[in-house]
Structure 1
Amino acid sequence: MARTNVAGKEVSEGSSSVLAKAIKMLGPGIIAVLSWLGAGDLITSSVAGANYGYAMMWVLAVSLLLRFLIVNIMARFQLCNNQGLSILGGYAQLHPGFAWFLFGYALLMGHLTNAYMLKGAGEALATLIGWNAPLVCSMAVAIAVWLLVGRSIYSVIEGVMKGLLCLMTLAFLALAIMSGPDWGGIAAGTIGFSIPPDQGVHGALIVAVSVIGAVAGSIANFVLPYVMKEKGWTGPEHKRIQRNDLLFAVCVGIIINLAIWVVGAEILRPNGLQVDTLDDLGAALQMFFGPTGWYLFFVGAFATLFASVAGKTTAFPMLITDALQHIRPGRREKYGKTFHKDPMHKWFLLFVLITPLIWSLPGMPDFVTLTIAVNALNIVGLPVISLGLLIMSNQKKLLGEYRNNWFENLALGAATVLALWVAFQLGSELLG
């Protein structure tokens, strides 16, 4: 069967239907990638590129690989365990201490990650409208996000995120291509495995830790399993579409992170520009596209930051509520498995959305410094998260044939060791 489109051309209904179904099924990955991608990637990748060129590209490559492995194992555990456990339930059945740790860690990181996201979104909005009131603009963003996610309108969030992801990707990809990336330098940096001497305000080690924290160690990696549940992906039959969806999300992440890094290395670094504010990144686009490029950057930056706040405000309260219900099982018996029915869910949502506004007050750390510091702090939780995941994803009684293969076990073990080593090095440098 065929139908005629508005241009008078015949289009296959079958192929159109398949395409529509494919696009519809890409929801959880889009939500997840925009919970991952935001100020953390925007700042850490641009600072790394501007200060160190491609010398630390290997850090990004390793982090993205670890992110895929960690999140894929988390998603598979939730889909395939024979007791219907959520990802946090998997941790909690190992030891109650995991639930307590994730409850406190999610509260802290939900607050801090939204802190720099809201701060950045407010600054971007204030710059776009020409009003020197970033605090008021941050408050406006928080109110808008509350109206969007407070009613649990998943389909609306999904549609908004798809559009904003496309806008952000095109903006940075276009600039990265026009800047003429040094592919040889990228390849050399990817296999270089070295930490260069400190340059600029932010040291090489803290930047490397921030990249690892923003990508591999982020607690936002817990987002996908919860969004899958919202989508209705709940059993082993969804394992294949989940993996493909995650591959799509990670590929988008590679493109965006690489594009941002190239902008830092090919435009900011040669022109002696440091990434101290969002204006410094806007200047990069202005060099190539004039005033239009400047507006393109700030619209894209605001879109990214707004979408990231929305994604985190959607997912973090679910993780926190889940942790609370494993600490206090009676709450799950009383309110069921729908997190929104637990009255505390609303308060957790308000906590991760409203309390971060204190970081937008005058006198608080600047946006770039706050972003790098918070993402570096993510490394603290990575050893606990990866070690717990390594144990529970090898439990035969829960997963049977869906247990880890040898490569996944090796990668999780390496992630634990890497996180411990990086945390030790960072601590030594700070104390020294």
Structure 2
Amino acid sequence: MAQTESASKKATGISRFSLANVVKILGPGIIAVLSWLGAGDLITSSVAGSNYGYAMMWVLAVSLLLRFLIVNIIARFQLCNNQGMSILQGYAQLHPLFAYFMFGYALIMAHLTNAYMVKGAGEALSTLLHINHPLLCSVAVVLAVWMLVGRNFYTMIEGVMKLLLAIMTLAFLSLAIMATPDLGGILSGTIGFSIPADEGVHGALLVAVSVIGAVAGSFSNFVHPYVMKEKGWTGPEHKRIQRNDLLFAVIVGIIINLAIWVVGAEILRPNGIQVNTLDDLGTALELYFGKGGWLIFFVGVFATLFASISGKTTALPMLITDAFQYIRPGRRERYGKVLHNDPMHKWFMLFILVTPLIWSLPGMPNFVTLTIAVNALNIIGLPVISLGLLIMSNQKSLLGKYRNNWFENIALGFATALAVWIAFQLGADLLT
């Protein structure tokens, strides 16, 4: 009770804070980088902070470092290999089974990733409209995405969504600063390398795996080369700008994830609030910014999810179609190198957008639980992905001087070992 009163006084003391002044410093680069922030980061970081404080901060640090290294190696391979291979071609030339694995894994993970995002977007829209029909709202989101993606005016709508997301992010950053984070606790948790005892609904190991899956193991990291190609970055001359762009994105990702974690640890945890629903996370902004904070949160969450669904529905079918054409090479000869020309591309888009609606039906797991579970599943593919990447990024015949350095090789080996160890631990927990 005393803690709640203390938090209330703290909130009252900063009630005059205005977001308008902070919004003025927002730059276009920040808005572009916010596409890295997805619902997975938002939920896993807040759950980890609210349930376990800073005890597992090392998981976030390791995950962000691995994200940079893995995505940078993927991008460098595509830019610098001397045969103009895509990242998928790089895997396929190691063994044909990689194409089959990528096809099946991408199709399943695209379905599951959109599942929790469609469900969350429906819940957020239902809350904003004050109607108790989240399934109906999820259907509306799917229809809107299908009608808007690929249209000329979608870029404008996407820009608005990113601006709304930027405002929510600034609110979390402001809140994290005003919550006076425990720097000693953050440092201790970053170098602690421990898994605390389970608290709340979601076990510590599951939350840790979910953080790793949402950041380092996210299959969305494989979308980067396709987006990179769309930007016109196609050769070694673009390596530096690609690396700097990625580094900037990861640095901003560190700041954003840390801010969300701090909000969970410094505001939700002291008040005994565990993140089991979107309303629980919105409570933090409402405590400090009143009804306006609540509105900023739900509008921002809806914008995050809508933009993420649209982005993944646009990008992931390119990877799936690419893999499918390696399984069925005749299709590449028939439809050419432009993946959109293959009729299966549109069917893959439709599949990963519409089938996730089954997870929004009554009786299915709630949004937070589904988000944590799906992001944890990303860890299953990480050993195959990192081991394959380790082999092909050291091929002298393809990369020459652009091969991995010793640190990158150690990091990929560590990622492979970490994923195997986690899978073993999770299996042992299930058996007991």
For the criterion TM > 0.5, the same-fold answer is yes
1:388 matched to which residue of 2? Answer: 388
Instruction: Report what 1:361 is aligned to.
Output: 361
Equivalent in the alignment of 2:290: 290
In structure 2, the residue matched to 1:39 is 39
Specify the alignment match of 1:232 in structure 2. Answer: 232
C-alpha separation between the residues in 2 aligned to 1:337 and 1:410? 35
Q: CA deviation at 1:148?
A: 2.5
2:165 is aligned with 1:136: no
Aligned to 1:257: 257
Q: CA deviation at 1:312?
A: 1.0
**Quick check: 2:106–2:320 contact (8 Å CA) kept in 1?**
yes
SS of corresponding position for 2:320: helix
Length, aligned pairs only: 406
C-alpha distance in 2, partners of 1:166/1:396? Answer: 43
Deviation, 1:389, is 0.3
Q: 1:406 to 1:228 in 2, by over 3 A?
A: same
Q: Alignment partner of 1:212: what SS?
A: helix
The aligned residue for residue 315 of structure 2 is 315
Q: Is the 8 A contact 1:164 1:307 kept in 2?
A: no
String of CA shifts for 1:261-294, please: whole Å, max 9, x gaps.
Answer: 0110011100000111000011111111111111
In structure 2, C-alpha distance between the alignment counterparts of 1:152 and 1:106, rounded to whole Å: 27
- Cα distance in 1 for partners of 2:428, 2:316 equals 31
Equivalent residue number for residue 6 of structure 2: none
| Equivalence for 2:378 | 378
Q: Specify every segment of 5 or more residues in structure 1 that has no aligned partner in the other structure, as ranges.
A: 1-21
Mapped partners of 1:164, 1:338: distance in 2: 33
CA shift, 1:362, in A, is 0.6
- CA drift at 1:87: 0.8
- CA offset digits 1:52-75 (Å, max 9, x no partner): 000000000000000000000001
- Shift in CA distance, 310/54, structure 1 to aligned 2, threshold 3 Å: same
Residue in structure 1 matched with residue 203 of structure 2 by the alignment: 203
Q: Which residue of 1 aligns with 2:427?
A: 427
More moved, 391-400 vs 155-164: 155-164
What is the letter of the counterpart of residue 368 of structure 1?
V
In 2, the alpha carbon distance for the partners of 1:152 and 1:356 equals 26
Q: Residues 152, 87 of structure 1: CA spacing in aligned structure 2 closer, same or farther, 3 A cutoff?
A: farther
After superposing on structure 2, the runs of 4+ consecutive aligned residues of structure 1 that deviate more than 3 Å are 150-162
Q: Distance in 2 between matches of 1:387 and 1:157?
A: 39
Shift of 1:45: 0.6
Matched, 1:172 2:163: no
1:129 deviation in Å?
1.1
2:106 alignment partner AA: A
> Aligned with 1:191: secondary structure?
helix
Q: Secondary structure at the match of 1:290?
A: helix
Q: How many Å apart are 1:152 and its aligned residue?
A: 7.9
Matched to 1:215, the amino acid is V
Give the RMSD, CA atoms, in angstroms.
Answer: 1.8
Distance 2:76 2:429 in 1: 38
Q: Is the 8 A contact 2:111 2:353 kept in 1?
A: yes
What are the residue-to-residue correspondences of 1:99-248 with 2, within 5 Å?
A: 99-151=99-151, 155-156=155-156, 159-160=159-160, 162-248=162-248
Quick check: 180-189 or 147-156, which moved more?
Answer: 147-156
TM-score normalised per structure 2: 0.91
Q: Hey, what does 2:8 align to over in structure 1?
A: none
Answer with 361-370 or 328-337: which moved more: 328-337
Please say if residues 123 and 134 of structure 2, whose CA atoms lie closer than 8 Å, have aligned partners that are also in contact.
Answer: yes
Query: What letter corresponds to residue 172 of structure 1 in structure 2?
Result: F
Q: Matches of 1:328 and 1:163 in 2, distance apart?
A: 41
Q: Deviations over 1:104-153 (max 9, x none)?
A: 00000000000000100110111011111111111111122222324487
Give the conservation status (yes or no) of the 8 Å contact 1:30–1:161.
no
State percent identity of aligned pairs. 79
Distance 1:125 1:234, change over 3 A: same
